[in-house]
Amino acid sequence: MGKAKRQALEPAADDKAHVALLAAGLHLRTSENLWRVSGNTLAHRQVLRDIGGTWNRLDQCWDFAGEDPTDKLVAAIEAAPAPTGHNSGDGDTPKPHYHGHRGRVRERVLKSGTEPLADYELLELMLFYSIERIDTKPLAKRLLERFGTLGDVFAAEPEQLREFEIDQRTLIHFKAMREVGRRLAERKVKDMPVLTNWQQLIDYCHAALAHEKTEQFRILFLDSKNVLIADEVQQRGTIDHAPVYPREVVKRALALNAAALILVHNHPSGDPKPSRDDIEMTREIKAAAGALGISIHDHLVIGRKGHASFRSLGLLT
């Protein structure tokens, strides 16, 4: 084979560096004198920090100013210990303490199910499928320590999660998991008489509202047999207020031919105790609806600490 042909088949040094970055799960792009590294950065964050990178929370990548950091980055990755959570296959390379951990967790779930898992273990398991090649247990524990519950983790704002270098894929995963929980709870109350499935209704309202960061006012519209016709967000508000207009509530109830309503709103503070404004607003809606023969079965206030029922508290008289 001629020299020219051999050179054509051998990758250039730049190509080799590019392949090395891809093998590490990293992607490099540039704009003028700014270089950005994205991808599986969590597994290499110490290396990225050591060679001068700066974490960009907004764009979820590592920024490098000045010269192309490719060669320096590849050399640092190759010189570092075995990639986090990954073993090269070399029999002489010590395996990290968590080597095979993901496989053991999966086997445990297949054998015993997910019910015995602690919250951090369940979160760790879910992180397996959005974050590659790292031990996700410490991250799962830190997220729960920071936010409190699984629901709070899934409902956390993107800006808050970026403090943990959570990437776009994991953010989408969290949003999807939260919506899955809401829909599963919704299925238990949809097309069924809600007054005979009260606990399922409470569970659904918690899934939909307990972890919202601002107030939402929702209305559950029921037919003459108390079967749920629709669940709609009537108003979205601020951290402690959502404006509600009785005329709009009644207008929508008439449009859906609803015979009764259950009012629901959340308190982002976590305390479900009704406020004076809540009580006054409920009285106004009850009066407007009652004039047209529409009943108000209850007004539920949802908080992370529980819920309050106007009917149970004697506030619908």
pLDDT of residue 133: 65
How many contiguous H segments (helices) and E segments (strands) does the chain have? 13, 9
Distance CA 230, CA 246 (A): 18
Domain ranges of the chain: 3-79, 101-183, 192-309
Least confident of 41-45, 69-73, 96-100, 135-139: 96-100
Backbone angles phi, psi at 64, to 5 degrees: -130, 130
pTM above 0.75, yes or no: no
Average pLDDT over residues 40-53: 82
Q: What is the pLDDT of residues 253-267, one digit of tens each?
A: 999 999 999 999 999
- Concatenated DSSP letters for 76-124? HHHHSSSPTT---S-TTSPPPTTTTHHHHHHHHHHHH-STTS-HHHHHH
Q: What is the pLDDT of residues 226-240, one digit of tens each?
A: 999 999 988 876 555
Which residues is 233 bridged to in the sheet?
Answer: 218
CATH 3.30.450.20 fits domain 192-309: no
Which residues is 221 bridged to in the sheet?
Answer: 230, 261
100: alpha, beta or left? (left if phi > 0; alpha if psi -120 to 50): left
CA 19 to chain centre: 33
Answer whether residue 100 shows pLDDT above 80.
Answer: no
Q: What is the pLDDT of residues 205-223, one digit of tens each?
A: 988 898 888 889 999 999 9
Average pLDDT over residues 37-46: 80
Per the prediction, the chain carries an average pLDDT of 82
Backbone angles phi, psi at 27, to 5 degrees: -130, 135
Return the structure tokens found at 12: 């250039």
